[in-house]
C-alpha cells in the first residue's frame, strides 16, 4: 500500500525569462526550504510562460542544480518546462528525483496560442511516490472534466497541478480545486505562478495551495513570488 502519510509542498518561485540557470537555482532553493517529500512547481516554471522559449533538454547541465537538491533532501520535484520529443514540442511536467529527471506528463488541453507551437499530450497520466498514485495536470487540464474523469479511473491518491493564472482568475482556480478534490475523493495540490511572466500575464494569481479530499484548503500562499506552502496528508483523512 505504501506510506500512510505524505508531505507535499507547492512552490511559486520567482521566474525570469531567458534565465534558466537562475531559475534552476531558485527551484533548488525552494526544494531545500520546502522540507517535503513532494514539491510541485507551476506550469513552465523553468522558463516562465514564454511560449517562444527554447525547449529544455533533460541533459542540460543546469538542471543538475535541481537534481542535487532532490538528492540532498530525498525529495521528488514536479517541474514545468517546454520539451522537444522527436520534433514535437510539449508543455511538460518533469520529475526530478534521486534517479534523475524524466518527463512524466505532457499537457493535454492546450489553450489559445499554445496550439500554434505545442502538441497536446496523449491524455491523463500518473506518477508514483512512496506508494501514492499522483494524478498529473497542467493549467487548463484542471478545467477539463474529461481529464478529471480519466484520472478517477486510475484511482489516484493525490492530484498535482502546475498552473499559470491571471490574478482575476483566482476564484475560478480555487473552485476547480474544490470540484476536483470532491470528484477524485483525494487531496489536491496546486502550484500557481506568482509574479509577472510574458506580456499577457503582468499580474498572476499566485496563492498556491494544498486542499484536503473534501476541498478544504489546508495551506495557501499569497501572491508574492518565492512563497512555499506545505501540508502533511494522511490516507485516513480522505473522504470515503
Please report the pLDDT score of residue 1 as a whole number. Answer: 53
The rounded distance, in Å, linking the Cα atoms of 63 and 24 is: 6
Angle between helix axes 170-184 and 145-154 (nearest 10 degrees) is: 30
4: confidence class by pLDDT, cuts 50, 70, 90: confident
Residue located via cell numbers 482568475: 169
Average pLDDT, the chain: 95
For residue 203, how many other CB atoms are within 10 A of its CB?
13
Please report the pLDDT score of residue 149 as a whole number.
97
Instruction: Please report, to the nearest 10 degrees, the dihedral formed by the alpha carbons of residues 22, 28, 32, 33 taken in order.
Output: 40
| Domain at 5-237: CATH architecture | 4-Layer Sandwich (3.60)
Cα separation, 101 vs 63, in Å, equals 9
End-to-end CA distance of the chain: 17
Helix/strand/coil (H/E/C) assignment for every residue in 29-60: HHHHHHCCCEEECCCCCCCCCCCCCCCCCCCC
**Count of helices and strands (H, E) across the chain:** 4, 12
Q: How far apart are CA 136 and CA 142, in angstroms?
A: 9
Could you tell me which of 21, 40, 20, 17 has the C-alpha nearest to residue 30?
40
Calculate mean pLDDT across residues 108-118: 96
Residues in contact with 87: Cβ distance below 8 Å, sequence separation at least 6, in sequence order:
none
Distance CA 178, CA 188 (A): 8
Task: Give the pLDDT band of residue 235 (cuts 50, 70, 90).
Answer: confident
Q: What is the pTM of this model?
A: 0.97
The average pLDDT across 27-49 equals 98
pLDDT band of 132, cuts 50, 70, 90: very high
Residue 192 in contact with residue 203, Cβ under 8 Å? Answer: no
Angle subtended at Cα 105 by Cα 69 and Cα 124, rounded to the nearest 5 degrees: 140
Residue 68 φ/ψ, nearest 5 degrees: -60, -45
Q: Average pLDDT for residues 89-104, to the nearest whole number? A: 98
Amino acid at each position: 500500500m505504501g506510506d500512510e502519510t505524505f508531505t507535499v509542498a507547492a512552490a511559486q518561485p520567482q521566474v525570469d525569462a531567458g534565465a534558466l540557470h537562475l531559475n534552476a537555482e531558485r527551484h533548488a532553493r525552494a526544494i531545500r526550504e520546502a522540507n517535503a517529500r513532494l514539491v510541485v512547481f507551476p506550469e513552465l516554471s523553468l522558463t516562465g510562460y514564454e511560449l517562444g522559449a527554447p525547449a529544455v533538454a533533460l541533459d542540460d547541465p543546469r538542471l543538475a542544480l535541481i537534481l542535487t537538491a532532490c538528492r540532498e533532501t530525498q525529495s521528488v520535484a514536479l517541474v514545468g518546462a517546454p520539451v522537444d520529443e522527436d520534433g514535437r514540442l510539449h508543455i511538460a511536467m518533469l520529475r526530478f528525483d534521486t534517479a534523475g529527471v524524466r518527463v512524466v506528463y505532457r499537457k493535454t488541453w492546450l489553450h489559445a496560442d499554445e496550439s500554434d507551437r505545442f502538441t497536446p499530450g496523449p491524455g491523463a497520466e500518473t506518477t508514483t511516490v512512496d506508494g501514492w498514485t499522483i494524478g498529473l495536470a497542467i493549467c487548463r487540464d484542471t478545467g477539463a472534466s474529461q481529464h478529471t474523469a480519466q484520472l478517477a479511473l486510475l484511482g489516484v491518491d493525490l492530484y498535482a497541478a502546475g498552473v499559470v493564472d491571471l490574478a482575476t482568475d483566482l476564484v475560478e482556480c480555487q473552485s476547480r480545486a474544490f470540484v476536483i478534490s470532491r470528484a477524485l475523493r483525494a487531496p489536491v495540490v496546486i502550484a500557481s505562478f506568482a509574479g509577472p511572466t510574458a506580456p499577457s500575464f503582468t499580474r498572476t494569481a499566485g496563492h498556491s495551495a494544498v486542499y484536503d479530499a473534501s476541498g478544504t484548503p489546508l495551506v495557501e500562499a499569497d501572491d508574492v513570488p518565492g512563497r512555499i506552502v506545505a501540508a502533511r496528508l494522511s490516507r485516513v483523512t480522505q473522504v470515503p
